Structure 1
Amino acid sequence: MRGNIVKALTLIAAIVTVTAYAGNSSSVAEAAPKTKKTVTVEPSGDESGCLDFNEIAAYSEEGGYKIILSPGTYYINGQLRLNSNTYLKADGAKIIEVQNGSRLITQPYDRNGYKQRKGYDSVHDITIDGGTWAGTKKFADYGVNIKNGQKTGPNVINFWHARNITIKNLCVYNAVNAHLIELCGVKNARIIGCHIGCRKTKDGSLKRGCSKGDIYRGAIQLDFCSKSGNRHSEPFDGTTCRNVTIKDNYIWYRTGIQIANDSSKTTNDVKVKDNILRCKYAWTNVSMRKARGFKESGNKRKKY
């Protein structure tokens, strides 16, 4: 009898523990896209970027697809816009942006009322898994934004007003006075196991990408939805990042991680853990210290 009571109490304790963990807002679960169909895309070999771009965009903009990029080289002439419930898997694929001054991965923007979606209600449950993503090395051919007296280039991967975003197991490099990954007003995000600012060569070594820009162009930027923070993040309602985990990455960039100073007091629950930081500045310390719930542990520094 006593043995049964002990077993019952043990089971109850286990259930309570699991329930408490699942309800802990500080843990970031991986995005869980609800995909209705899996499609496989093959590289076309078209270096103009039109064919590969159109093939991938046909599925990514609709959303609800698991898109598998077969190994090979893809050329993209524009911005791949990922809608909600998209899983983009690119193991063995290299994706090159050929349009000067263009983002490589972002979200729908100009259509379907996305500019009106406040808070975290623009896009959700998006996973980018694997691949080598090469951004542009040049400014746009026209209409370049000037900020603080400097030309600003495009962030390579950029989401805003979003929730449940996972970026994992990929290489991303090449930026011209911009960030490699920017999350602007994003809740529940994971950046896990990536090489950021560098790429792997055939012999397994790492080669640094282009990284022109001032010290405040962190490889990873956490910003808020404002005209001063990101001029594309309409509506400008001040939405900040919440519950972000940056873990097990290799970051080779002048500045590793940055929280925009204007939003630092309202940015909440940022965990930076077990990364290798090959950076002159690991992060912008003043803004990081202001952020509520900022925690860092197990990070290692390497000579820049």
Structure 2
Amino acid sequence: MAVLPPTCARSGATGSNATTVYTVSTTVNDAGDDTNAIQNRINTAGSAGGGVVRLVAGTYIINGKLRMANNVRLEGAGPATVLKAGPGFLSNRGPSGGYPIVTTNNASNTTITNLTVDQSGDTLAASADTDGRLDEYVVDVRGGSNNVVDGVQVKNPFTYSIVAVATTRFCVKHSTTIASTSGKYDQLDGIHVLDSSFGDVISNTIDQRVGTDGDDGLVAHTINGTTHDINYIGNKVRGGSRGNSMQLAVGNYSIYNLTIAGNEFYGAPYGIRTGYYDDATGAVSGITLTGNYIHDLKAGYAFPDGSHDATHIGDFDGEGPITNVVATNNKACAAGKIYVVPGAGNLNQGNFTQDGTC
């Protein structure tokens, strides 16, 4: 099977089609809070039916929580446009009770693009048990539909970096996440898809092992609904010492119709792995694993004994049915075996594994 091209093909997501530009009047690179200046332009653009809220290069201090509006494009000038959590960032919460820098907050047809988002997890007085830390996320695509995150860099997270939650028709592409703290947090995932459908996660770079706190690189997860029809294509993922390069995190709802193709996974204790939570009974089905390169897996906090596998789909206590999982034409080097539990429609063939130096 040929690896699919890295486009938003599964979702068809296009984001905002607005063209009217709304510039933000504020002073960058100073200590002043820029939240209201940006939010006012987002609100104005949204009230007008959509618009491009354009940010120049420089650092914008965010003490509040930015909320997108329908058909708005939030556009920086590149990585030098930085939305940075300020000293007052922990004093208030987002609409879902957490600490996003920017959330779509049930808006549709939005684009967040061409900028850096810095949650200041290296310097803020957040902690592993900060209330609400896992209720919203650094870049939070929540509800609505047809939302795009393109060319966004996430730095210094103290929660998941980029998340699609309870949404449909979304695309996360050409973005970068870095987990660089050590001994401050747990559950720092890179790009996390939760209870969502018809999405694309393509051509991203995830590095969860600059520090020791990084967890899973890519995640498909269910808690309150199914996660299905997602493409994960052409990503480069160094998983963290606390988790996996990619996890299918199964609750009591099913994960199905995922294409995981043409990715590079390395650095975590496991490559692609199923995980089950709270006596989960959800099914896993229709998973295609093809053309992935999984290499140089390492022991970590999660698996200090050094156990690892390039893929480990199924064979855990209490799991729901696992069917129609097809693993073909994958390569594993210094990464253990490629394993798919026997089951109806499951296929594990044409894969290549080797030990030693890759």
Q: Are residue 144 (structure 1) and residue 131 (structure 2) matched?
A: yes
1:206-221 equivalences under 5 Å are: 209-210=210-211, 212=213, 217-221=215-219
Matching residue's letter, 2:259: K
Give the one of 206, 224, 229 matched to 1:243.
Answer: 229
- C-alpha deviation, 1:292, in angstroms: 2.2
Aligned identity (percent) is 17
Contact 2:169 2:197 in 1 (8 A): yes
| Contact map agreement 1:129 1:169 (CA 8 A) in 2 | no
The match for 1:301 among 273, 280, 294 is 294
Structure 2 Cα separation of the partners of residues 210 and 134 of structure 1: 16
SS in 2 for 1:45: coil
- Mapped to 1, the partners of 2:212 and 2:119 lie a distance apart of 10
| Alpha-carbon distance, 1:262 to partner | 0.9
Indicate the residue corresponding to 1:190 in structure 2. 200
- 1:222 maps to which residue? 220
User: Cα 1:286–1:253, aligned 2, differ >3 Å: closer, same or farther?
Assistant: closer
Match of 1:285 in 2: 274
Contact 2:54/2:75 (<8 A) preserved:
yes
Q: Is contact 2:196–2:228 with CA below 8 Å preserved after alignment?
A: yes
**Alpha-carbon spacing, 1:179–1:129, altered in 2? closer, same or farther (3 Å):** same
- The answer (yes or no) to whether the contact 2:20–2:51 under 8 Å persists in 1 is yes
Q: CA deviation at 1:97?
A: 3.2
Residue 272 (structure 1) shift: 1.7
Please, which runs of 5 or more residues in structure 1 have no aligned partner?
1-25, 109-121, 199-207, 230-237
- Corresponding residue for 1:103? 100
2:10 corresponds to which of 27, 44, 51: 27
Decide which of 108, 121, 127 is 1:124's aligned counterpart.
108
- CA contact 1:105–1:158 (8 Å) conserved in 2: no
Distance 1:290 1:106 in 2: 30
Give per-residue Cα distances to partners, 1:205-238, cap 9 Å, x unaligned: xxx544515xxx42233223xxxx4xxxxxxxx3
Contact 2:99 2:132 in 1 (8 A): no
**Distance across 2 between alignment mates of 1:166 and 1:173:** 19
Counterpart for residue 79 of structure 1 = 65
| RMSD (CA atoms) | 3.5
Cα separation, 2, equivalents of 1:278 and 1:131: 26
Partner of residue 134, structure 1: 118
Once the 2 structures are TM-superposed, how far is the Cα of residue 153 of structure 1 from its aligned partner? 5.0
Q: Name the SS for the 1:212 alignment partner.
A: coil
**Alpha-carbon shift at residue 80 of structure 1 (Å):** 3.0
TM-aligned CA distance change 1:243 to 1:195, over 3 Å: same
Per-residue deviation, residues 258-281 of structure 1 (Å, max 9, x unmatched): 222215x62222222222223322
8 Å contact kept, 1:105–1:157: no
- TM-superposed CA distance for 1:45, in Å, is 1.0
Aligned length: 234
Q: Give the Cα–Cα distance (whole angstroms) in 2 for the partners of residues 104 and 283 of structure 1.
A: 29
Structure having the higher helix fraction is 1
Classify 1:144/1:87 alpha carbon distance in 2 versus 1 (closer, same or farther; 3 Å): same
Partner residue in 2 for 1:89:
75
CA offsets per residue over residues 142-161 of structure 1, 9 Å max, x none? 853699xxxx9522223322
Contact 1:218 1:283 in 2 (8 A): no
The aligned counterpart of 2:171 is 166
Q: Does 1:259 align with 2:248?
A: yes
For structure 2, list consecutive stretches of 5 or more residues without a partner in the other structure.
Answer: 1-8, 91-97, 135-156, 277-281, 298-358
Q: SS at the partner of 2:265?
A: strand
Deviations 1:79-98 (A, max 9, x none): 33334433333323344334
